[in-house]
Structure 1
Amino acid sequence: MKNMKFDAVIFDLDGVITQTASLHSLAWKQMFDNYLKKHSKKTGKKFREFTHEKDYLSYVDGKPRYKGVKSFLESRDIKLPYGIPSDLPNKETVCGLGNKKNKLFNELIISKGVDVFSSTVELIKKLQKKGVKIGVASSSKNCKSILESAGLLELFETRVDGVVSAELNLKGKPEPDIFKTACDNLNVTYDRAVVVEDAVSGVIAGKNGHFGLVIGVARENNKKELKIHGADIVVDDLKKISIEKINDWFVNGINKDRWSISYYDYSKEKETTVESLLTIGNGYFGTRGAMEEFKSNDFSYPGTYIAGVYNTLESEVKNRIVKNEDFVNCPNWTFTTFKIKNSSWFNLSDYKIIDIKRTLNFKTGILKKTMVVKDKKNRKTLIESERFACMHNIHTAGLKYKIKPLNYSEKIYIKTSLDANIINYGVKRYRQLSSKHLEHISEGADYRRETDLTENYLFVKTNQSDIKIAEFAKIKAFLGNDLIKKEPKIRVKKGVVDTIIEIDCNKGNEVTVEKIVSIYTSEHESESLIEKGKAVLSEIKNYKTLKERSIVSWGKIWEKADIKLAGDRYIQKLLRMHIYHLFVTSSPNSAHLKASIPARGLHGEAYRGHIFWDTIYILPFFNIHYPEISKSALMYRYERLNQARKYAKEHGYEGAMFPWQSGKSGKEETQTMHLNPMSGKWGPDYSSLQRHVSLATAYNIWNYYWTTLDKEFIREYGAEMLFEICRFWLSKAEKTTDNRYSIKKIMGPDEFHEHVSGSEEEGLEDNFYTNVMASWTFSRAVDIINELGEDKNKIFEKINLSEKEIQKWKRVSESLKLNISENGIFEQFKGYFKLKEIDWDMYKKQYDNIQRMDRILKAEGKSADEYKVAKQADVLMTFYNLSSKQVKEVLNKLKYKPVENFLKKNFEYYVKRTSHGSTLSKVVHSYLLNLIGKKDLSYKFYVDALESDYVDVQGGTTGEGIHTGVMAGTIIVAIKSYAGLDLNDDIIKINPDLPKTWKKIEFNIRFRDATYFFKIDKQNIKIQILGNEKKEIKIGDNIHVIEPKSLIDDTWEIFKRGIKHAR
């Protein structure tokens, strides 16, 4: 076969090559049953035998021997000393039992011999004829002797087994070490290698290693389990795998995988996380990926969130009245279910899910579900559904729901609804609070016989903010391809409109319901919402047309925003997942809303849908791809500038003080008291003292302008905001006896430290991050004044700003106080160096998770204020925002002389004292590790951040909403750290430093008046520019001039290590 797309196949031994898995299972059983009987006599506990299904497959299959012993014993709550590998087989230690099993296994090999799977051997020989390299990777220390007994040893170019693993100190499955080592021995990259496994632990190892293809061999009738845990292709025998099929995966299958996430199971424990990650949206609204058949319960949570739709309610909590503004869960437009004749509607008590697959396609924005269910009468039904939030017209959405009886003929009912009888229930810790936000206005339905079309509407409002919400739906039903002409049953109740389609359906026939929906709110529309919704749907020909328009619109977004990565499909998938969810939250088609970007997206109710400082991570992504989205987020701040002025004045300050948490009005939404969930006690909440949110706004204004040179924005809006922020910081700075200025009563990004230990006064003094960023902000304001020229006079007059006041900015910007130790460590805040050290090792042993050390300490009657412990980067955050050169410039201006390698020294000091209680922390630390040359650790932190939502690293938080700051931050780190893009000067600089597994990265950015296209691999940098003028780019140490184009074509400027190489 020509053009082979893969280079090696690594086979597991037991159950894949040889039929020794049954012998292993038998040896384990003999050993454990013997031990368990002795244990039963000793303890008096009832003897429970070791079984193949429950014990072998669950705890020991595929794992290194001693790890398998330990895993099984833990499952029975039995504790034994670990021992040493040389323990005799009769010794009751983990190693002793493992050695006893090995002795029994070897005896079975001698007595029974080794059988091989002929189909596997046949495939290996075919692969070798095509030049494909072959390896074997096994946890077994008997691998070599087994292969020799079977006469197969010579087939393998490399063998990584239990013996080799012990010599090289490799981790066992589910870690990918043995498979990676096999690839390294064969000189093959992981993305062009295939892993073949029969055990769940081995399949997980293949997935964890990011290999090009993982094939699961289901010898144990475990196809579903292997698929759930990461197998790309599952067969019951390798005779069903051909070289052509493998090659096709690398041509077509892997590309689909890079553009999607799929789930092959339904788990109540994980369902809310899955629902968040399967959210569809378009920047106007987001709808969680809950199954259509479910309403809100403890394990599933449908939700639709519309940008800017907030509502405030009072609640009584522990004898206190508290007010909370919430992100409102709006009427559910997706609810659709079915029943068979007189049975109950679909539910998990009466039906069993036999098979399920849910896939979200990032490229098209379409969520699909295929599910087979069985009722108590053994009637099997296939359900297929798809849904999308239209990216072309952001007020519309579509849902298709299809039913097929697989083994019966019967009357089928399908019910689809608009439902406003819902509450906010998505965050467990908020459930004790008032949560009913929607108030009924009206609803209605109409069946049009001439078109066999059902039209429904629902009209509600929020009960405090008085935002009106209208949903309108058009519904058609089909039997096969024929329109069902029978009038459906329509039930109109207060807050709910149900449409029920009834049809006699034969086995194998399909019933399909197509539903297109419009959503409007008075927050963004002044016209009659019902008529508006009805009119927009009348313009849509059908479901298919709406879907196609949405796909085209998504395609245009991806043309500008995609990052193409070769070498690691898992990283590629997650990068695209992050890009997708950012556009679900805010899109170019929703930029006119000026609704900003919630920290948890349009995906859930955590953080109450509020706007925080996270935009400091988010806007750099939009600046270079869709700057109109960044402008929209900044206009959100501008339209609430008067509220920020009022907030500052209320606290005795001048200018504009933006709130830590901002929602509908722009007033401070942060609580002043906090109920500690671990101690159950109320305490003061100083979170609102994180005044650095105003610095984030200033930073965002400057960087938007720097990237776009949008002088109209600066002239009309940006400069005014920036100047008012400077006024605030000027009024906050207090002159000291040594002619410097201090800033008090604030909190830094750390969040754990709320006030100086031993002091009753709220807040901290002279936080390094705050003071440096304030100085930097003053300087940028002066730069803006110079940029404005005569245009500044209009702004000065509008806000009564004088040259005298600007001179004060300059004076304060040169005199802010910092505390720096003799060895160059920047003190996080005044008094930090006097705090106690924390015993990290002790707490790690005591608690499974120490990310929220503040809560752990409070529950112990202590306070994080007493310790050198940070939730996330604080001092180090300065270096995420500003380059070392920029920080040095600020320090010099402040008349401080930093020591050599000040970034490295401060990083090493503070990273040891950080709990990473926010996933943002890993983004910052990854970026900084790369700067100081710790490449491998940087990439580890990067992957941790990249997969934090995907694997729900914080144990449930993703189910409450994704983390937009982390998602945007990981994209920016890929571009800045690894592609090496630097936009800090007028000339773009690029100095790539790709991680080991990344072969190539492709992306484009918009910078000022041109669009730049980059293709970067280990040797070359290829560049094209769309624009009107030639541009200088600094590659490495050399500056090159590149001519612009009017269209992108196949001719690239190619550079090698900073030297022009070819064209």
Structure 2
Amino acid sequence: MYDFTIAYDRFEPASEQLREALTSTGNGYFSTRGTAEWEDMSDVHYPGTYAHGGFNRETTIFGGIPIWNEDLVNLPNWLVLKLRIEGEEAIRLDNVELLDYRHTYDIRSALVQRELRFRDHAGRVTRLRSRRFVSMVHSHQAGLEWTLIPENWSGRAEVVSALDGRMTNRIVARYRGLEGRHLDPVSPRTFGDEVIALKVQTRQSDIYIADAARTRVFHDGEPADVDRDLYQKEDYIQQVLAFDVEQGHQTRVEKMVSLFTSHDNAITEPLTAAGRHVQRYPDFATALAAHESAWAELWDVCDVQLPREPRAQLLLRFHVAHVLQVCSRHTARHDAGVPARGLNGEAYRGHVFWDELYVYPFLNLRLPEITRALLLYRYRRLTEARAAACEAGYRGAMFPWQSGSDGTEETQTIHLNPLSGRWEPDESRNQRHVNAAIFYNVWRYYQATDDLEFLRDYGAELMLEIARFWASIAHYNPDRQRYEIHGVMGPDEFHERYPGARQPGLRNNAYTNTMVAWIAATAPQVLDLLPPSRCAALRARLDVTDEELHTWDDMSRRMYIPFHDGVISQFEGYADLEELDWDHYRAAYPNIQRMDRILRAEGKDPNRYKVSKQADAVMLFFLFGHDELRSIFERLGYRYDSDLARRTIDYYDRRTSHGSTLSFVTYAGVLAGLDPASSWDRFMVALNSDICDVQGGTTKEGIHMGVMSGTLDLLQRSYVGTSVADGVLRFEPRLLDRLDGVAFTMRFRGTSLRVGVKDDELTVLAEAEGFRGPLRVGVGDEVRELGPGSDCRFALAAQPSAVGR
């Protein structure tokens, strides 16, 4: 690893699919895995291209039962570029002797490069350098370049340049028993001598996808004399470009590609658009320079400097690059949500979960226009959420745990346990807390941006309908004189029901109930922020009565929160569960993160035990500052002593397997002020979780958007201590021995700020250009006002060390 580069210095077949996911290149519209373009789909290699909104639903008959799934579709493979020497078999990594090999990923521009030197069966030694990118300037553009140098031979070479529409979804082993064919052929086509094109259609959703490719060859910088031979069938088209090469002389091949779908704006149809655009594209070098310039602009806004921790800095930058490849300004022009596993694999079938809760904080304070657009994904599906609530007997809007194309519930009813090989019921759709996450996301976006227009036109309606849902799913218990919520799951996911119960769901999940109390207190504030005419109109259209507002206020004061042994109970009845023999399982299994699968494979029910995938009660201390959480609990009439956080966090830490990488993010955040050394250890685990594939094979199926963006949020919110309260941007830096020299740019309510910590001093500088103020910033009790071009400096008190224990 280097400042902006990740490099692999040898080819390792067992690691190749992981590397392909990690070295994907994308632009927020589509993304392509870092697969070598001369390799076909196999157990070693998996070419994959995915675009926002590219979903298709298929049905599999499983044991006589129809099982439907909606998947993010693996689109036609535009990469295909193969080398044949003297008419022989195409070169692959497994049919030549590799003399040198290097696979690198330039984080600055999401540029994937391979350099190899190989000897074929005839003793010919050839050097090949491959570079490619997906343009951050033009959302439909990609480019691929080869540089060939024959070292000890001259002769005839052929390059096969193709577009392959025969792709299927099959990278996730546990899905392979389900239907993975999503594309039907439509037609191949050519646009002149240089351009081939291919159009396909998704089988159920009727989305048309078209690729066009322009391939050219150059000898020592000049256009080469090339013979072209065309072959095509309904779902595949290729050109074979034949030319002479000379020993020691450089030949360059460039393939410029365009990709369109029928979801795109301002086109007559995708195939025509793809062909027209690729004919107009500049050469590879010019397009790459523009692409690099666009990334440079993004880095000016999004870079993170952490000079005392070079590995952490590199991985933070790596995470920034991946987040921006899924969520960019291009994304903002499309109807897109945040796929939990990005756009470079098929895990979770490309669905949108609650992981956006971890993604938006970083974007809110840098590229809020992207958050705004992504929140509209939820707003556009409000009709479906209302229908789902109504069908379940509730009011308001009930958003799905897994969302795809249209906002209906996409969660499976069964899932495969890879340890036991058995299909088991999936009750995770009862994680209604996704509604709370959406409400939270809208509110935090507003606090960071002061975007009253969004709140007025979209956000308030979302939030009111979510508050209304919670009021309808809750019920009042006169014996306790408290509101309760039954039949739900928390983020923990290992507990779906009570032991031996027929019906799924739990009573009074503490995370859910606390979030509902906060929502019930916040919703009236949203109405107060609206212009009086808009407030009246919205209340009239939604029929929000004074009685309903009174109910929300009452809920904010009387939601039931379970406790036991001086800690917050994960849910009512948690204290009655059995303790797990952790020492036994740690000795028996090399990895116990997925304790639910281990227990089920042993014939045991995880619902019986005090074991958590991620402790959802701890999430409360992650999402809210101590003063804010204290206010919520005291409003409810519960005592919130100074040690509640420490007791609760420690209690669940001993009972959590961290089966989700998000768990490390959460614990790193909540321990930042309690145990700095442990916090940093977990921060590093989270940072390394994808690059090192700590879950043992899941990252190759798609990167984890939540953990990648969550680590960025940890730095800005948990370590630098960024928060917004009463219009003041506040900082509470921690782990100063680790943070010395940290610097980053952020945007608060339209103004660009540069923030840095150096020698026990925090500096905030307001850029003069585009200043919108005045702005107030604070550390502790000290609050100052920033003007254009001015800065504020705050002295920071000495803190416990975060280095070692």
TM over 0.5: yes
Q: CA RMSD in A?
A: 1.6
Deviation for aligned residue 1:679: 2.8
Aligned mates of 1:385, 1:349 — CA distance in 2: 17
User: What CA deviation, in whole Å up to 9, does each residue of 1:306-346 have, x standing for no partner?
Assistant: 11100111112344321111110001111111011032111
- Please point out which of 754, 765, 779 is paired with 1:1035: 779
Residue identity opposite 1:268 in structure 2: P
CA contact (8 A) 2:784 2:792 kept: no
Q: Percentage identity across aligned positions?
A: 36
Q: Secondary structure at the residue paired with 2:152?
A: coil
2:788 alignment partner AA: P
Q: Specify which of 142, 145, 154 is matched with residue 400 of structure 1.
A: 145
Instruction: Give the C-alpha shift of residue 529 in structure 1.
Output: 1.5
**Aligned partners of 1:442 and 1:459 also within 8 Å:** yes
**Which sits farther off after the overlay, 919-928 or 351-360?**
351-360
1:1021-1032 → structure 2 map (5 Å cutoff): 1021-1026=762-767, 1027-1032=771-776
Greater alpha carbon shift after TM alignment, 353-362 vs 630-639: 353-362
- In the other structure, the counterpart of 1:338 is 83
Give the corresponding residue for 2:416: 675
**SS of alignment partner, residue 728 of structure 1:** helix
CA distances 1:366-396 after superposition (whole Å, capped 9, x unpaired): 2111111111222111111111111111111
Instruction: Report the counterpart of residue 436 of structure 2 in structure 1.
Output: 695
Instruction: Supply the AA of the counterpart residue of 2:10.
Output: D
**1:852 matched to 2:594:** yes
- Matches of 1:715 and 1:299 in 2, distance apart? 51
Q: Is it true that 1:427 corresponds to 2:172 in the alignment?
A: yes
Q: Which residue does the alignment assign to 2:274?
A: 533
Deviation at 1:994, TM superposition (A): 3.5
Q: Do the aligned partners of 1:336 and 1:401 also contact (CA within 8 Å) in 2?
A: no
Of 270, 274, 293, the residue aligned with 2:15 is 270
Unaligned runs of at least 5 residues, structure 2: 799-805
Tell me the residue number matched to 1:72: none
The residue number in structure 1 matching 2:258 is 518
Contact 1:313 1:464 in 2 (8 A): yes
Q: Secondary structure, in 3 states, of the residue corresponding to 2:567?
A: coil
The corresponding residue for 1:715 is: 456
One of 293, 308, 330 as aligned partner of 1:567: 308
Report what 1:861 is aligned to.
603
- Give the corresponding residue for 1:280: 25
Aligned partner of 1:882 in structure 2 is: 624
196, 220, 242: which is aligned to 1:456? Answer: 196
Residue 924 in 1 paired to residue 671 in 2?
Answer: no
Q: CA deviation at 1:1025?
A: 0.5
Q: Aligned AA for 1:611?
A: V
The amino acid that maps onto 2:514 is V
Quote the Cα distance in structure 2 between the aligned partners of 1:508 and 1:1043: 61
Q: Indicate yes or no: 2:290 matched with 1:545.
A: no
Q: Paired residue for 2:539, among 779, 796, 807?
A: 796
Decide whether the 8 Å contact of 1:413 with 1:503 is kept in 2.
yes
What is the one-letter code of the residue matched to 1:696? A
SS in 2 for 1:1000: coil
1:752 aligns with 2:494: yes
SS in 2 for 1:331: coil
Q: Which has the higher contact order (CA 8 A, sep 6+)?
A: 2
Match among 935, 947, 960 for residue 688 of structure 2: 947
Residues 466-510 of structure 1: CA deviation (Å, up to 9, x unaligned): 000011112211122120233311211221111211112121122
Indicate the residue corresponding to 1:619 in structure 2. Answer: 360
For residue 995 of structure 1, report the CA deviation from its aligned partner: 5.3
- Decide whether aligned partners of structure 1 residues 499 and 284 sit closer, same or farther in structure 2, where only a CA change above 3 A counts: same
Equivalent residues in 2 for 1:103-502, closer than 5 Å: 257-448=2-193, 454-502=194-242
Measured after TM superposition, the shift of residue 349 of structure 1 is 4.1
Comparing 311-320 and 643-652, the one that deviates more = 311-320
Which residue is 1:812 aligned to?
555
Q: Deviations over 1:185-225 (max 9, x none)?
A: xxxxxxxxxxxxxxxxxxxxxxxxxxxxxxxxxxxxxxxxx
What corresponds to 2:392 in structure 1? 651
**TM superposition shift of 1:511:** 2.0
1:326 partner letter = D
- Mapped pair 1:1056 → 2:801: no
Instruction: Look up the SS of the partner of 1:931 in the other structure.
Output: coil
Q: Is the 8 A contact 1:445 1:492 kept in 2?
A: no
Kept after mapping to 2: 8 A contact 1:351/1:376: yes
**Residue 827 (structure 1) aligns with:** 569
User: Structure 1 residues 886, 998: closer, same or farther in 2, change over 3 A?
Assistant: closer
Unmatched tracts of structure 1, length 5 or more = 1-229, 231-256, 449-453, 1046-1050
Counterpart Cα distance in 1 of 2:718 and 2:378: 30
Structure 1 counterpart of 2:516, from 774, 784, 795: 774
8 Å CA contact 1:824, 1:899 repeated in 2:
no
Preserved contact between residue 195 and residue 279 of structure 2 (Cα < 8 Å): no
Q: In 2, distance between residues paired with 1:354 and 1:317?
A: 48
Partner residue in 1 for 2:246: 506
Offset of residue 1058 of structure 1: 7.7
SS of equivalent to 2:258: strand
Q: Kindly tell me: are residues 314 and 916 of structure 1, through their superposed partners in 2, closer, same or farther at Cα, counting changes over 3 Å?
A: same
The answer to whether the Cα contact below 8 Å between 2:58 and 2:69 also exists between their aligned partners in 1 is yes
Contact map agreement 1:647 1:658 (CA 8 A) in 2: yes
Task: State the match for 2:802 in structure 1.
Answer: none
Deviation at 1:357, TM superposition (A): 1.1
TM-score (norm 2): 0.96
Q: Name the SS of the counterpart of 1:757 in structure 2.
A: coil
Map of 1:729-768 to 2, 5 A cutoff?
729-738=470-479, 739-768=481-510
Give the letter aligned to residue 471 of structure 1.
D
Secondary structure of the residue that 2:287 maps to in structure 1? helix
Change (3 A) 1:611 1:651: same
Displacement, 1:1052? 5.3
Q: Which residue of 2 aligns with 1:999?
A: 740
Moved more, 771-780 or 360-369: 360-369
- CA deviations 1:13-49 (Å, max 9, x no partner) are xxxxxxxxxxxxxxxxxxxxxxxxxxxxxxxxxxxxx
- Deviation for aligned residue 1:1037: 3.8
Paired residue for 2:641, among 890, 896, 899?
899
Question: Structure 1 354/995 Cα, relative in aligned 2: closer, same or farther at 3 Å?
Answer: farther
For residues 860 and 1054 of structure 1, the distance between their equivalents in structure 2, rounded to whole angstroms, comes to: 59
- Aligned equivalents of 1:410 and 1:311: distance in 2? 46
Q: After the TM superposition, which residues 13-24 of structure 1 pair with which residues of structure 2 at under 5 Å, given as runs?
A: none
Please name the residue that 1:989 is paired with. 730
SS at match of 1:1039: strand
Deviates more, 1:1009-1018 or 1:409-418: 1009-1018
**Equivalent residue of 1:814, what SS?**
helix
Distance 1:548 1:263 in 2: 25
2:337–2:377: 8 Å Cα contact kept in structure 1? yes
Spell out, residue by residue over 1:675-696, the C-alpha distance to the aligned partner (whole angstroms, 9 max, x if none): 3333333332110000000100
Q: Distance between the aligned counterparts of 1:426 and 1:857, measured in 2?
A: 26
2:598 maps to amino acid:
I
Is 1:872–2:614 an aligned residue pair? Answer: yes
Aligned counterparts, 1:71-82, within 5 A = none
Whole-angstrom distance in 2 between the partners of 1:942 and 1:959: 22
| CA deviation string 1:948-968 (max 9, x = no partner) | 001011111110000010011
Q: How far, CA to CA, are the matches of 1:660 and 1:1052 in structure 2? A: 44
Any idea what the Cα deviations from partners look like across 1:420-444, whole Å, max 9, x if unmatched? 1111121111112111111111112
Distance apart, 1:710 and its partner CA: 0.9
Shift of 1:596: 1.2
The Cα shift of 1:879 comes to: 1.1
**Residue pair 2:760, 2:797 contacting (<8 A) in 1 also:** no
Letter in 1 for 2:115: T
> Number of paired residues?
792
1:724 aligns with 2:469: no
Cα displacement (A) at 1:984: 3.6
* Structure 2 SS opposite 1:566: coil
Task: Give the AA of the match of 1:420.
Answer: G
Q: Work out the CA distance in 1 between the residues paired with 2:518 and 2:192.
A: 64
Distance in 2 between residues matched to 1:413 and 1:855, nearest whole Å: 50
Cα distance in structure 2, aligned partners of 1:807 and 1:754: 32
Aligned 8 A contact 1:1013 1:1025 in 2: yes
Q: Is the 8 A contact 1:447 1:487 kept in 2?
A: no
Which whole-Å CA distance do the structure 1 matches of 2:7 and 2:28 have between them?
A: 23
Comparing 299-308 and 365-374, the one that deviates more: 365-374
Query: How far did 1:985 drift?
Result: 4.1
